[in-house]
């Protein structure tokens, strides 16, 4: 155990993924700010992706150092409230940032879970945190993930101990004794999805019926409160999910569509098939133009939807796609 006034960073060829446990804004700004300043002193590229209020506090903290020299220069700031609205988008953004700086150690602050996240969002963000360890294994990078231990549920903090090899708590950093393999954490996230109150459309489909799926989805979407642009996004996401069923999910599937009933005009599309997730990272990295790995459709789905819930079970694969009207 070491006195962690500055969070640990990766050495050559190493990947470091610490969880920073904090209890108030002062602890947050100190811990994250020290990490960013250390990266800047080392002339390493820095990405800070945190929710808006924390982003503002960090900008103020890094705005000027001793002598009035700005310390925020060279830092890329991103509002995680937008980027990470669907947790399935985050990993691609982190990888793309690291890719833009070949030969250098990327320093990233990523805060995918904050008070106010829905349980469904938290579960997919937990899956994301586990998959970071797989995606960045052996890569020179450090991804620091802050967790508000005073406001987040105890179960969320417990999961952070499972998804991060290193913990920073009370000014000390140490290995996490509860760190768990990513495959186990992802399997634990595959809990049964709650049944909707009412389903608006159920459609079984098989080979040669992709156009039929699109037509039914489009007709149903016209009866919802979704704006035209969001209706188009929904139909495209459903089409990509159904196409994956036909290509990789046993050649058939079932589509269900319903409204959320929350007064927000949101809708949910669910696609079930007999498929398996051979690669849990599929769809979480922008595919190359000539890619044939089957991840292009999933990547597009993640970009279009406000939340993608994934369930990989022995009985098959379920994608539940959430679309808000804004």
- Residue ending a domain, among 189, 219, 236, is 189
Structural domain containing residue 265: 201-323
Write down the pLDDT at residue 276.
Answer: 85
In a domain, 196, yes or no: no
Write down the pLDDT at residue 287.
Answer: 82
Closest by alpha carbon to 323, among 187, 256, 230? 230
Per-residue pLDDT band for 7 (boundaries 50, 70, 90) equals: low
pTM of the model: 0.91
d(CA 84, CA 71): 25
205 and 173 part of one domain: no
Instruction: Give residues with Cβ within 8 angstroms of 1, minimum separation 6.
Output: 172, 173, 174
171 and 89 part of one domain: yes
Look at residue 76 and give its three-state secondary structure.
Answer: strand
The yes-or-no verdict on residue 325 having pLDDT over 60 is yes
Range scoring the smallest mean pLDDT among 39-53, 151-165, 247-261, 280-294: 280-294
Question: Is residue 299 a contact partner of residue 311, using CB atoms and an 8 Å limit?
Answer: no
116 and 233 part of one domain: no
Residue with the larger pLDDT of the pair 102 and 73: 102
120 and 21 part of one domain: yes
For 175-202, give one letter per residue: b (16+ CB within 10 A) or e: ebeebbebeebbeebbeeeeebeeeeee
Look at residue 268 and give its three-state secondary structure.
Answer: strand
Average pLDDT of span 209-220: 97
Number of domains comprising the chain: 2
Write down the pLDDT at residue 3.
Answer: 47
In a domain, 195, yes or no: no
In a domain, 194, yes or no: no
127 and 24 part of one domain: yes
Residue with the larger pLDDT of the pair 3 and 325: 325
Q: How many CB atoms lie within 10 A of CB 292?
A: 8
179 and 303 part of one domain: no
Average pLDDT of span 71-96: 90
Residue with the larger pLDDT of the pair 3 and 8: 8
The length of the chain is 326
Per-residue pLDDT band for 4 (boundaries 50, 70, 90) equals: very low
In a domain, 44, yes or no: yes
The yes-or-no verdict on residue 291 having pLDDT over 50 is yes
What CATH number does residue 184 fall under?
3.40.50.300
Task: Enter the tokens of residue 293.
Answer: 């790995």
In a domain, 256, yes or no: yes
Q: How many CB atoms lie within 10 A of CB 20?
A: 26
119 and 230 part of one domain: no
In a domain, 220, yes or no: yes
The yes-or-no verdict on residue 156 having pLDDT over 90 is yes
Write down the pLDDT at residue 279.
Answer: 87
232 and 312 part of one domain: yes
Place of tokens 């990470």: 84
Closest by alpha carbon to 288, among 304, 299, 280? 299
d(CA 324, CA 169): 37
Whole-Å CA distances, 109 to 16, 68, 320:
12, 24, 28
Closest by alpha carbon to 127, among 314, 311, 323, 315? 311
30 and 52 part of one domain: yes
The yes-or-no verdict on residue 5 having pLDDT over 80 is no
In order, the DSSP letters of 163-230 are H-SEEEETTEEEE-TT---HHHHHHHH-PPPPPPS--SEEEEEETT-HHHHHHHHHHHHTTSS--HHH
Question: Is residue 9 a contact partner of residue 135, using CB atoms and an 8 Å limit?
Answer: no
Write down the pLDDT at residue 73.
Answer: 61
For 89-126, give one letter per residue: b (16+ CB within 10 A) or e: bbbbbbbebbeebeeebbbbbbbbbbeebeebbbbbbb
In eight-state DSSP terms, residue 248 is H
Write down the pLDDT at residue 203.
Answer: 97
Mean of all residue pLDDT scores within the chain: 90
pLDDT in tens, 228-262: 999 999 999 999 999 999 988 889 999 999 998 76
pLDDT in tens, 85-121: 999 999 999 999 999 999 999 999 999 999 999 999 9
Write down the pLDDT at residue 146.
Answer: 98
């Amino acid at each position: 155990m070491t006195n962690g006034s500055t969070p640990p960073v990766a050495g050559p060829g190493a990947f470091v993924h610490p969880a920073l446990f904090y209890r108030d804004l002062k602890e947050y700004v100190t811990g994250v700010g020290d990490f960013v300043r250390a990266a800047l002193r080392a002339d390493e590229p820095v990405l800070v992706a945190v929710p808006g209020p924390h982003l503002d506090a960090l900008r103020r903290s890094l705005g000027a150092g001793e002598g009035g020299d700005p310390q925020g220069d060279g830092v890329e700031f991103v509002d995680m409230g937008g980027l990470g609205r669907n947790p399935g988008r985050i990993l691609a953004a982190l990888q793309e940032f690291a890719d833009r700086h070949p030969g250098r150690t990327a320093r990233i602050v990523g805060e995918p879970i904050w008070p106010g996240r829905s349980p469904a969002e938290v579960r997919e963000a937990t899956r994301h945190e586990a998959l970071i360890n797989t995606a960045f294994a052996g890569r020179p990078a450090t991804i620091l993930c802050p967790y508000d231990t005073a406001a987040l549920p105890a179960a969320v903090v417990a999961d952070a101990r499972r998804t991060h090899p290193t913990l920073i708590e009370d000014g000390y950093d140490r290995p996490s004794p509860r760190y768990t393999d990513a495959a186990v954490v992802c399997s634990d996230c595959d809990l049964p999805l709650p049944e909707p109150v009412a389903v608006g459309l159920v459609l079984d489909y098989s080979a040669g019926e992709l156009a039929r799926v699109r037509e039914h989805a489009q007709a149903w979407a016209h009866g919802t409160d979704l704006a035209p642009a969001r209706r188009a996004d929904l139909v495209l996401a459903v089409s990509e999910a159904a196409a994956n069923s036909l290509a990789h999910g046993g050649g058939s599937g079932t589509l269900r569509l319903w409204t959320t009933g929350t007064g927000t005009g949101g809708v949910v599309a669910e696609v079930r098939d007999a498929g398996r997730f051979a690669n849990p990272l599929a769809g979480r990295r922008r595919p190359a133009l000539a890619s044939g790995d089957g991840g292009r459709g999933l990547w597009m789905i993640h970009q279009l939807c406000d939340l993608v819930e994934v369930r990989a079970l022995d009985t098959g694969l379920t994608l539940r796609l959430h679309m808000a009207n804004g």
